[in-house]
Chain A
Amino acid sequence: MNTEDDDIKAFFADMRKEDTQHTIPKFEDLLPKKRTSKIRYIIPIGIAASLIVGFGVWTDTTETRTIPDDTLFISLEEETGTETLLSDDLSVFSWESPTASLINDFND
């Protein structure tokens, strides 16, 4: 840069002077904001809330239920498949052949 450039230097010097008259934002305003501040509170609150919900569900399942006095109980007992056969034992033993008399008559 020599003396030939003086006109250009003067131009840019004037330009700089004009620019610095404009408001330049504060350095602090352009720094990134700390994003962790909210997370710092949200995480423990979330953990506490899930613990409360979990505890509520657990106590609900283990609670002993009281039965009112006027409750009617109907119990259905299922019979095994072979029980009817056993109860018919007598009829099987008392069975007589319808042709037994013929055999007897023939012998006489």
Chain B
Amino acid sequence: MDKSRLTELLQTHHTDAFLWASHCCHHNQEDGQEVLQLTYIKVLEKKAKFNEQSAFKTWLFSVIRYTAIDYLKKKKPFEGLENLKIGVEDAPFEISTINYKKLLERLPERQHQVLLLAFYHEMTLAQIAIVTNLHIGTVRTHYERGKEAMRTLILKEKV
């Protein structure tokens, strides 16, 4: 696939890609922007090659996820102590607005990602399996358990 076509496809999925990159960086938009830029470099310099075995968006999300993992690993040693999370946060949410990020962060990492991809990014379980590099059966398990946990959290939030 030539560079101009790749640029065109990247531009089409830019908003979704940016939001997914931010989600992969614990909902941090600055880090998401860095990760997305690194992803674009990878794609346009053909370090990550699209072999057209899946939809472009599915493949792009997979590249973003791997780039975010590498980025966060590199960034971690330089993170300040004030950002370090110790223990489970049990502080009550504000009544007026739901803190989506904090609510989702309470879910285990896999369930969190599977639910985001399924409901937020409207992907099928098969597509999620490609993005997360998990077996479809495992994805289904995370999906079901995630939904249950999510329902409990939403109910708690409403009460």
Contacts and interface: CB of A to CB of B under 8 A. Distances in A.
Contact of B100 (A5, A7, A14, A20): A14
B136 interface: no
A18 B33 contact: no
B61 interface: no
Interface stretch (A22-30, A38-46, A57-65, A90-98): A22-30
B100 A11 contact: yes
Given A14-B100, A24-B15, A30 B33 contact: yes
A15 B120 contact: yes
- Chain A interface secondary structure, helix, strand, loop or mixed? helix
A1 to B, nearest CB: 8
21 contacts: A5-B147, A7-B154, A8-B119, A8-B150, A8-B154, A11-B98, A12-B115, A12-B119, A18-B100, A19-B19, A19-B22, A24-B18, A25-B33, A27-B10, A27-B14, A30-B14, A30-B33, A30-B36, A30-B40, A31-B44, A32-B44
Interface of B: 7, 10-11, 14-15, 18-19, 22, 29, 33, 36-37, 40-41, 44-45, 98, 100, 115-116, 118-120, 147, 150-151, 154
